[in-house]
Amino acid sequence: MPSDSSAPVPPSTAPAAPATPAAPLSERAAAAVLGSMLFLIVALTLLLVQSTLVEPASAAEDPPAADTPFAIDTSFAAGGGSLAHR
């Protein structure tokens, strides 16, 4: 009776290939990465500033009413904001 047909086969213990070290980044590639990062930072900062600026003429106007499906009770604000005066 052959015993090798039911015996588990040990996993392969072949040595893994050594990892090749990553090549260093050239100066030109490093400058391109740094330049693109700085450009994105400046562009996104300008976009944020532009989207948050308020025109001085529209700052004096009341903001538009919120479209809410429910009524907001602000009667407490008429008495100085305290709920104890009710």
- Average pLDDT of the chain, as a whole number: 74
24 pLDDT band, cuts 50/70/90, is: confident
pLDDT tens-digit readout, 30-66? 999 999 999 999 999 999 999 888 777 666 666 666 6
CA 65 to chain centre: 30
Whole-model pTM?
A: 0.41
List Cβ neighbours of 85 (8 Å cut-off, separation of 6 or more).
79
Res 61: pLDDT: 67
Number of other CB atoms surrounding residue 13 within 10 Å: 5
pLDDT at 80 over 80: no
74 pLDDT band, cuts 50/70/90, is: low
The single-letter code of the amino acid at 66 is A
